Amino acid sequence: MTNPEPNATPDPSAPISEDERVERELRRRSRRGFLTAMLAGAAAYGGWRWLMTRPAIGDVPWPIRKMLQFNERVTGKLVSPNHRSREVPAATITAGGPRINGDIGLESDMELEQWRLQVAGTNLALRMEDLLALPAVTETIPLNCVEGWTTVARWTGIRLADFADKFYPAARKKAYVGMVTPNGQYYVGLDAPSAFHPQTLLCYAINNEPLTMAHGAPLRLLIPTKYGFKNLKCIGSIQFTNERPRDYWAEQGYDWFAGL
């Protein structure tokens, strides 16, 4: 019997030893295994390159931003007045007052007497006395910074929900709340369930003292269900809207929702 292409296919009738058969099978499986591993590695690298070269939304490649928004939808469902940040004993209050960690939007020469709280889209311009007419709420509660640390204080203020009910009831039908400092340099956006959460305060006193300038005098936001960067200091105006408000840190790559 003659074979025109002796190397093309092994002649099945040719006797091969058991050792050789095993050796061939091992080579075949090794080749397949290493090829698969290399392809998987190349695919992972290609996928990473693709991901990192996508156009950015708020300084984050869009597939990642979409995933953050997906995470927000999944976990945002959990926000309800029943999920409260737990109050802590007075003994755990951070000595020397809560840590000061940002002054964006603050101005040291602000005239407190001139300050009014504006509600965007209305002609409301409220003075401190107007706000003090609402029931005072005090919470001894930790504030968690996105950097990882925690600071505890006794915060006093009025509920944002009470504020809306009294001065602008239509606000409760809106999907979002935005806040801006008087100079417009710092701004945050909040989802309505978090904003109208009973622990969310327009805060005017820390540890029984009026706010200092560094803590956002005369009025700041306390929202313990969000990272610290959502707790805007020195509120100039509040906006109740159905369009997602701009957020200072979300524009710089952080999650917009930033919930805890």
Partner 1 sequence: MIWSGLMIYWADSDKGLVNGVYRIGWGQTTLFHFFPPGFWRALGLEFGLARGMSWHFFFVWFFAINGLLYALYLIISGEWRLLVPSRRDFVGAFQVVLHDLHLRKTPPPFVKYNPAQRIAYTLVVLMGGASLVTGLAIYRPVQLGWLTRILGGYQWARWEHFWLTMGFVLFFVIHVLQVMRAGWSNFRSMIAGVEIKETPEGTHDKP
- Contacts to partner 1 by CB under 8 A: 22, 26, 29-30, 32-34, 37, 59-60, 63-65, 67-68, 71, 75, 78-79, 83-86, 142, 144, 146-150, 224-225, 249, 252-255, 259-260
Contacts of 108 (CB under 8 A, 6+ apart): 213
- As a whole number of angstroms, the distance between CA 195 and CA 162 comes to 11
Nearest approach, Cβ of residue 163 and partner 1 (Å): 22
CB 72 within 8 A of CB 255: yes
Compute the least distance from the CB of residue 91 to partner 1, in Å.
Answer: 15
Provide, rounded to whole angstroms, the least separation between the CB of residue 153 and partner 1.
16
Nearest approach, Cβ of 84 to partner 1 (angstroms)? 7
- Is 22 or 175 the residue whose CB approaches partner 1 more closely? 22
Strands 117-119 and 237-241: parallel
Q: Position 106: which residue type?
A: L
Per the structure block, which two tokens stand in for 227? 């990272």
Contact indicator for 202, 94 with CB cutoff of 8 Å: no
Nearer to partner 1, 16 or 67 (CB): 67
In whole angstroms, how close is the CB of 152 to partner 1 at the nearest point?
11
37 or 125: CB nearest partner 1: 37
Q: Which is nearer to partner 1, 204 or 229 (CB)?
A: 229
Q: What are phi and psi of 215, to 5 degrees?
A: -100, 5
Helix (H) or strand (E) holding 240: strand 237-241
Please, which residue, 44 or 132, has the CB nearer to partner 1?
A: 44
